[in-house]
Structure 1
Amino acid sequence: MNKDHSCDIIQDLLPGYIDGILSEAGTDVVKGHLEECEECNRVYLEMKEGLGPVEEQKETLALDGFKKVQQHTKKLKRMIGIFAGLLTLLLVSIFLKVFVIGECLPTHEVNATDISYDEETGYLTIRGMIDRSSCRVSRVVWQESEDEADVVNVLVYGAETLPFQQDKTDFTLSIPDMKGKKAYLACPDYDRLELYSWEHGHYEKMAELENEIYNRLPELDREKNALSYISGIEYVNGIEGIWYYVDTVIGENATYWRFNGQLVTDGDFEPQDFAIWISLDRPYQILIYDFGTGEYTEDFSLVNR
């Protein structure tokens, strides 16, 4: 075998020689050749030096790949944890909504069985029950209306009954400071039903006050000047009283009457630019409130203006 051919074979065997996988005889042949051939020895040294960085690069790539796998695994675990947390929160929210907090019931599913007003304390007590199967009263709350002064809305919430719970279908609610106010059974969809009106609970008192106004102010015509009670108690100089708007009926032979607590006319109503305040207790005090000046006065000539 010539030298060139021998060198080609030896150089082909160098990777195995460097990795130490040649037989003993092959190793001796390559070793002996390298001692005699400078060219092959140079190739051997270059190959030996070049294999180190390659292996290190392979290890680095493998390590980087492992780190990326770890990062993706951690990210996946975090995502799974977040999803599991959100799912748990959703399930807990649904459970609380359905079985603990409940939903506001529409008025046709709530029956007010007894409504009483305490004249001394001003408390209004409402007793009632709900009419929905497999549902219990979870809570009953009252809140002052944001749009209407002296109006209180009562909201009854019903929740599904768990197997170990009792069906509590009745409720009692006491509302303070209800003098001169109205109470409605309501739900968030503006479904409202009037439960109580201080005016309706004091027909005799209201009739007495209105008669006092007409008697003290002969300028007012009972047939033409309608008094409209303004809900609520108005304090003037520390004295309790109520307000009345005054509307004059316009139209030939026109009259007015009340229907479901509302004024109705077969003509037209012309509102006056004053209101009348009257104290609730004797001796009755009457004042005229001038919308133009925003002040109270005992000058009854405003009625003729």
Structure 2
Amino acid sequence: MSSELMDSFCLLRLTVTLLPLLNPCLTRLTPRVSFPMGSPGRRLTCFSSHDLSNTTTLLLSADGEKLYVGARDAVLLLDVGHKDTVLLRSKLDWSPSEKDLEECSMKGKKMADCPNFIRVLQFFNSTHMYVCGTFAFSPRCAYINSETLTMSLNTDEGRGRCPYDPYQRNTAIIVGEELYTGTVADYRGNRPVISRHLSEGSRVDLKLDDTLGWLEDPTFISSKFIPHEEKIYFFFSEVGREYNFVDKFIVSRVSQICMSDVGGQRTLQRRWTTFAKAQLLCQDGSELPYNVIQDIDLLPPAEGTSVDDILFYGIFTSQWFP
């Protein structure tokens, strides 16, 4: 999240091809669709509001007609189905009380960082979303009706589901009404965790065994569900401990967990038994690697092709060059 408050954002209606992720960077690839600056085909529609800031969490409906926006102290429902305009359909205010803000400030936090920054915004089922916010460094989660933006009376503790600090990146995805998250699980931000929540019946919530050091100061980027594999993939960068001859060398990672994982029977009770991770390398020849992943997207296979023809596209930068 940028430290600068954002009071507007734009919707760019265009398709681009990014650098492939799982192979070395192919910088000579020609984009499938190109739009020069100023081209009539490159249409930009903006929405702004004087009381809107930190619009960092976006969720688009399956039909592409509605955009849900998680902002500071608010969730918005925007109508994006029109050609040249974005309309505000509804807004839900969700802010900490004065007491919550005072307690946050007394803990030594800047008052500007104590509001409720929405960091998890996912469809739970056909009628509701699951939403989490930092809530004055005491994260909270709630169910929200996706049509009326009305909130459930009871809220859940958000520890392990949402970061405490609005500047910490996280990722979350809901599959089968279960929440899979990558975030930090403590106030100081020292306990990164990949976990599953909202499990019911014979299934149990799971998380990484943090005593084994599976994650090393990670920056979570995204999470993706692959249906035919029944796996969740997490993308992040972290300090590469295998490169201990370089001071704090950052590496990009992809990790996986299986949805069928129920944890171990003894030492790994309520812990993942299917977690594995691998390094992602984006490098052109003998150049220094682009070692810090910034974003990721998934291109599903074309109709009639194999389900294995899934492509991930990533954007990478270097920790040595801006």
TM-score (norm 1): 0.22
Higher relative contact order (CA 8 A, sep 6+): 2
Rg bigger for which structure? 1
Richer in helix (by share): 1
Q: TM-score, normalised by structure 2?
A: 0.22
